[in-house]
A = this chain, B = another copy of it.
Amino acid sequence: VSRILLTLRYDGTGYCGWQVQPNGITVQQRMQDAIEAVTGIRSGLTGCSRTDAGVHANMFCCTFDTESPIRGNKLASALNAHLPRDIAVAECREVSQEFHPRYDAAGKRYVYRIWNAPQRNPFLDKYALHIRHSLDTTMMNTAAADAVGRHDFAAFCAAGSSVDDTVRTMQDCHIERDGDIVNIIAQADGFLYNMVRILAGTLVEIGSHRRLADSIAIALKSKNREDAGYTAPAHALVLDKVYYE
C-alpha cells in the first residue's frame, strides 16, 4: 500500500466545502468518486483543512492510500478525466506512510479578494467581494500588522465552534492593492472556523472608516467575538497555498 499526495485546484462555488456531509455535494465526495473510477476501490481521503462552503482553492492537499501502481501525471490525468470541470488535480506524488496533510502543514496561506470599484466586474463576480467605495488600504495594513504573531484568536472564531485551543500563530497578514483589486493575505500555522472571513470583515470595516485601526488589537485582547467585525462572504476566499517543511 502506498500513500499518494494529491494537490488540487477547485472552484468552490457549487460545493458545500471539502468534507463529506449528508446534505449537499462536497469536493471530497467528487474526489472519492474519481479515485474509485480510476483504481476500482473507494478510498478514504485526508484533507489539509476543512474549507467552508463556497471557498475556493488554488492549492489543496489531500492523501489517500492505494495499491494501484499508477503515478504522477498519468494518475493526475486519469483522475481529471473523471472529475467535473470545477475540480482538477494539479500534481500527484508518493509520500511516506507517516505523512499527514493537516498535521504536517507548517502554514497555510489564504487570500481574500476584493473588487474595489464603483461598478461590478463580470470576471470577478464569483471570486471577489464587491466594495464600491475606495478602501483605505494604508489603515488596513496598519491594523493587519497587529494580527501577526502568536495570539488567542477567540474573537475571530465563529460562535458555536467547539475548539479548545484558540491560540494560533499568524505568520503574515497584509493587504496588497493592484489597481481596483485589493487582496487580504493571511498566513498562519492554523485557522479557526471562519477566522479569515471574520478577519477580512473586520479589515473591510476598518478600510471603510467604520471601525478604528486598533480594532484588531482590541479584539485580540478582549477575546470577544463582538469586538471583531462581520463575517465576510465565502465566495471571495481562496486557499492559496499550503506549506510543508
Copies of this protein in the complex: 2
Contact string against B for A residues 207-225, beta-carbon threshold 8 Å, 1 for contact and 0 otherwise: 0000000000000000000
Q: Does A122 interact with chain B (Cβ within 8 Å)?
A: yes
Contact string against B for A residues 47-85, beta-carbon threshold 8 Å, 1 for contact and 0 otherwise: 000000000101000000000000001001100100001
- Among B77, B117, B118, the residue within 8 A (CB) of A119 is B77
Given A77-B119, A90-B117, 10 more contacts at CB 8 Å?
Answer: A9-B121, A9-B123, A56-B123, A58-B123, A73-B119, A76-B119, A80-B119, A87-B122, A88-B122, A123-B127
Task: Return the chain B residue nearest A85 by Cβ.
Answer: B125
On A, residues with C-beta under 8 Å from B are 9-11, 56, 58, 73, 76-77, 80, 85-91, 117-123, 125, 127
| Chain B residues in 8 Å Cβ range of A127 | 123
- Docked Cα-Cα span, A117 to B87, in Å, equals 15
- Among B11, B85, B119, the residue within 8 A (CB) of A90 is B119
Nearest CB on B from A79, distance (A): 9
> Can you list 17 A-B pairs with a CB-CB distance of less than 8 A?
A9-B123, A10-B122, A11-B122, A11-B123, A58-B123, A73-B119, A76-B118, A76-B119, A77-B118, A77-B119, A80-B120, A88-B119, A88-B121, A88-B122, A89-B119, A90-B119, A123-B127
Nearest CB on B from A180, distance (A): 9
- Docked Cα-Cα span, A187 to B142, in Å, equals 40
